[in-house]
Structure 1
Amino acid sequence: MKKRRSLFAELKEGMDALRAERAVQSQSLGKDNPHIGSSFDDFLVEDGRLEEATATALDRIRRLKR
């Protein structure tokens, strides 16, 4: 049980570090590249499909966990 918890903690720390790195990269890319637009989430909101896409993704995750 200890190995599973430590592995989970290590994975979480790695994901947090990756997210922080991507945030820094996206900020610098947005300033330098005029061709980068809004996010995919923004597109789904404009299209009125964000809730549907989120629900579908959550259903798929639940099925994979079984």
Structure 2
Amino acid sequence: MTEPDVEPEPICSARGCTAPAEWALRWNNPRIHTEERRKTWLACDLHRAQLSDFLSARGFLREVEPFSE
């Protein structure tokens, strides 16, 4: 008997964090991505500001929105 495929719960992108994702941080690197291209980091409530600050300091952060699957 095989187990059904179960998608893992999305978790925070902060190193070592296993908390559920609450926020989607949409970003791109304008030197290598087109304006329309968006990459996504997921964040828990605890790491939202830290990850946003990291991306903002580099001019990469485009938008932050609540995460929904």
Q: TM (normalized to structure 1)?
A: 0.30
Q: Looking at secondary structure, tell me which structure has more strand per residue.
A: 2
Bigger Rg over Cα:
1
**Structure showing the higher helix proportion among its residues:** 1
What is the TM-score of this pair, normalised by structure 2? 0.29
- More RCO (CA 8 Å, sep 6+): 2
